[in-house]
Amino acid sequence: MKTIILTSTLLLIFSYSNAQVNKKVLLEESSYATCGNCPEGAVWMDSITTEFPNVICVSHHIYADAVTIPESVSWSDDLAPGAPLACIDRVDFGTTGTVYELTSEWRDKVIQQLATTAVVGVSITGSYNTVTREINVTAEANFTSSPSSGDLRINVFVVEDSVTGTGSGYDQVNYYNTVIGHPYYGAGDPIVGYVHQHVIRAFLSDIWGTAGVIPSNPSIYTPYSQNYSYTIPSNFNENQISIVAFVSYYNASISQREVLNVNIINLDELSPTFTNDLSQDKHSVFIYPQPFSDFTTLTFSNSKNESHTLLLYDVQGRLVRTVTNITTDKVEIAGKNLTSGIYFFMLRTQDLIQATGKLIVE
């Protein structure tokens, strides 16, 4: 049996009946700005994600700094009451008498979990409105073999990378400023303008997951899904946002909350949606002629001659055309093979959305 998930840019086919699901590992780190040892946790996370692409790292800020949220504090109260600590798939390995691990154990426990066989695949699909900044995502679990019976739940986080700011809520206390050879040697104490990675900005599910979606004894090859909506605050960088979804157990005993599998999708991998009142002037793109039938030209600022890609979508959010390697300040769109109606474009570089707008074809 096959489940087919269609996004605007990619067709993913999962064949559950004749192939194992790809096992990914969730590493949940505890951190906060006034923790002098926490730069060491950042070093370990960077090393692990570089070595093991199937490890998904997230960072709970557990004490009051500029990015702390109440849900992460509650997570910490149960699972990791200190920093820098990490839960690896929330498994109790018997190392510390609980589910958190010290930095020196992270890599070995990650390797151990990567070697396990996943019993469930986790997929994330949905849309993002580039004007209202509203996310609509569906997290789906599809079991390839029967798990142990229990309270299985879907969990979803909103995560932001490269979070920085000014002041004590952002500046990172650094006990390694004078430790020769350490990556943060000489970086300052505190590190002003420190860049916080993998920051959990919001829980879309309940703290311990959404209950009642997956039965205690789920059927194999039967999808179980839950939809979530969220509006990205204006002070979050939409180009650094990702969605993390995972399936885990919930039990009153913290040693029985294992994560079975996890997945991640970047915001720009979601299908974009648009509102009809989109202002083109806001994005500094000049369009002429508009409306058009044969062709139109989009002119924009590109003083650095960066390579841009233009993505054109219909009103259902379906990708209908892609123009790549735009290195000048103009791009021409032909009306050929486009039916009359409204279309929306996204102009982006490799890392950033530069502009969005509306085209009208007659």
**β-pairing verdict for 86-88 and 25-31:** antiparallel
Q: What local confidence, expressed as pLDDT, does residue 329 receive? A: 86
The pLDDT tens digits for 139-191 are 999 999 999 999 999 999 999 999 999 999 999 999 999 999 999 999 999 99
Query: Which residue would you say has higher pLDDT here, 103 or 130?
Result: 103
Predicted confidence (pLDDT) at residue 14 exceeds the cutoff of 60: no
* Residue 314 pLDDT level (bands cut at 50, 70, 90): confident
**pLDDT given for residue 18 in this prediction:** 40
Q: Which residues, 6 or more positions from 212, have their beta carbon under 8 angstroms from its beta carbon?
A: none
What pLDDT score does 275 carry? Answer: 55
The tens digit of pLDDT for each residue in 298-312 reads 888 887 888 888 888
**Structure confidence by residue, pLDDT tens digits, 255-312:** 999 999 999 999 988 887 765 444 443 457 888 898 999 999 988 888 788 888 888 8
The domain segmentation of the chain, as residue ranges, is 2-272, 274-361
Phi-psi region of 167 (alpha: psi -120 to 50; beta: other; left: phi over 0): left
CATH topology of 2-272 equal to that of 274-361?
yes
Q: What is the mean pLDDT of residues 309-317?
A: 82
At residue 357 the predicted structure's pLDDT band, cuts being 50, 70 and 90, is confident
What CATH topology corresponds to 274-361?
Immunoglobulin-like (2.60.40)
pLDDT of residue 55: 98
pLDDT tens, 334-345?
988 899 988 888
Domain 2-272 matching CATH 2.40.30.60: the answer reads no
- pTM higher than 0.85: no
Q: Is the pLDDT of residue 9 over 50?
A: no
- How many CB atoms neighbour CB 143 within 10 A? 25
Instruction: State the Cα–Cα distance between residues 286 and 296, nearest whole angstrom.
Output: 10
Average pLDDT over residues 90-107: 94
